[in-house]
């Protein structure tokens, strides 16, 4: 029963991870760019939701919309201003550029908001909900469902709209897509902005659960890498599954070993997948 409880806790965290991982996977899938600024974008989304709550009294369970919109705009600008110029360049330069964006955003936050730990106190996130013999924190439950809604929206966009189809087409084959009359530039901007929006929404939904400080996104950046690799680089479904697997793996490590080793297990899993099954858990080996 305790194991079941542990798995459930892991799944709830995993749902949030999944949302974050999807954002990273979208960017990698469409642009083949590993976005090292992803964790910093999550952090920006958290600060946005924090100020929406403290200044406007907007609960993060609505504030995620604001964070997502803000990050969509920021992502669009980042793409136009910084990412597009390095699109044809080596991944060496692309990684360095997004690393630069990461460092700049984190230290900008440090400069503007200081290194203090912040936290919001949300009544509805502090209750305990009983599900039969299991108990869960209402905050995790609410964030999980909100994340599921956002993931559903992203899915609906990708599979039910023309633009979403274009995004999938570019992810499938960047060279052939323009021959089909798809505007690769616009699709790339949308994908990058949407990836940032996922990070923003994810950050907002983490706010009721985590402390907030400028480097809060760094461990989440590393987790996004793990998820995207678990799912097969660039696969959105895979990254979502990767998020759930990661959540459960961390939770079980915490139970059977100690919490402090859960991230070691993450990274070992990550290296193992990279070396043994580079196409990810769901992926098929390419010929």
Partner 1 sequence: MSGGRRWLYAGSLAALLLLLLVPLGVQNAYYLEVLFRIFIFAALGLAWNLVGGYAGQLSLGHVAYFGVGAYAFTLLTLDLGWNPWLGVAGGVGFSLVAALVIGSITFRLRGPYFTLATIATAEILRLLVLNLQDFTRGAIGISTPPLFPGPSADRAFYLAAVLLAAVAYAFNLWADRSRFGYYLMAIREDEDTAMAVGVNPARTKLLALLPSAAITSLAGSLYASSFHYIQADYIFSIDISNQAAIVAMLGGAGTALGPVLGSVILTTASELFKEVFQTAHLLIYGILIILVVLFLPGGVIGFFGRRSRRRAQREPGPFAGSLSGEEGSPRHSSSSST
The footprint of partner 1 (CB under 8 A) covers 32, 34, 82, 85-86, 88-93, 95-97, 99-108, 110-111, 114-115, 218, 222, 225, 229, 233-234, 258, 260-261, 263-264, 267-268, 270-271, 274-275, 278-279, 286
Cα Rg of the chain (Å, integer) = 18
Distance of closest approach, residue 279 Cβ to partner 1, in angstroms: 8
Nearer to partner 1, 97 or 204 (CB): 97
Please report how many Cα atoms fall inside a 13 Å half-sphere around the Cα of residue 105, on the Cβ side: 27
Smallest distance from partner 1 to CB 255, Å: 16
Q: Specify the length of the chain in residues.
A: 287
In the three-class reduction of DSSP (H, G, I as helix; E, B as strand; rest coil), residue 135 is classed as: strand
Smallest distance, partner 1 to C-beta of residue 92, A: 5
- Coil, strand or helix at 131: strand
Question: Between residues 177 and 233, which has the closer beta carbon with respect to partner 1?
Answer: 233
Q: Report the residue number, 274 or 282, with the smaller CB distance to partner 1.
A: 274
Closest to partner 1 by CB, 114 or 152 = 114
- Report the SS3 class of residue 216: coil
**Closer to partner 1 by Cβ: residue 31 or 199:** 31
Cβ at position 105, least distance to partner 1 in Å? 7
Integer angstrom CA distances of residue 104 from 20, 41, 93, 184, 286: 20, 11, 16, 28, 37
User: Sign of the CA dihedral 165, 168, 173, 175?
Assistant: positive
Judged by beta carbon, residue 56 or residue 107, the one nearer partner 1 is: 107
Q: Residue 179: how many CB atoms within 10 A of its CB?
A: 8
Tell me how far, at minimum, the Cβ of 190 lies from partner 1, in Å.
21
Cα dihedral 159, 202, 21, 83 in deg (nearest 10) = 90
Q: Tell me the torsion sign for CA atoms 269, 272, 275, 281.
A: negative
∠82-86-88 over CA atoms, to 5°? 150
Structure token pair of residue 11: 């799944």
Closest distance to partner 1 from the beta carbon of 260 (Å): 5
């Amino acid at each position: 029963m305790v194991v079941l409880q542990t798995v459930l806790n892991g799944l709830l965290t995993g749902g949030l991870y999944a949302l974050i991982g999807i954002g990273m996977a979208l960017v990698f899938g469409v642009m083949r760019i590993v976005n090292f600024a992803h964790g910093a974008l999550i952090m920006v989304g958290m600060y946005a939701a924090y100020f929406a709550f403290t200044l406007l009294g907007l609960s993060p369970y609505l504030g995620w919309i604001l964070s997502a919109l803000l990050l969509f705009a920021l992502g669009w600008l980042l793409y136009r201003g910084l990412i597009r110029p390095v699109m044809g360049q080596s991944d060496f330069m692309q990684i360095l550029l997004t690393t630069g964006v990461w460092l700049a955003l984190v230290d900008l936050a440090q400069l503007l908001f200081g290194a203090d730990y912040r936290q919001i106190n949300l009544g509805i996130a502090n209750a305990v909900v009983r599900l039969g013999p299991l108990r869960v924190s209402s905050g995790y439950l609410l964030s999980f469902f909100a994340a599921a809604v956002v993931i559903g929206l992203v899915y609906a966009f990708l599979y039910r709209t023309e633009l979403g189809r274009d995004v999938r087409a570019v992810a499938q084959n960047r060279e052939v897509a323009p021959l089909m009359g798809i505007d690769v530039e616009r699709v790339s901007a949308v994908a990058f902005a949407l990836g940032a929006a996922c990070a923003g929404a994810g950050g907002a939904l983490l706010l009721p659960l985590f402390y907030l400080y400028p480097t809060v996104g760094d461990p989440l950046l590393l987790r996004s890498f793990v998820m995207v690799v678990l799912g097969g680089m660039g696969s959105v479904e895979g990254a979502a599954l990767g998020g759930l697997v990661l959540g459960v793996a961390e939770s079980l490590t915490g139970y059977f070993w100690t919490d402090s080793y859960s991230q070691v297990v993450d990274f070992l899993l990550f290296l193992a997948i990279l070396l043994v099954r580079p196409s990810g858990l769901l992926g098929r080996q390419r010929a």
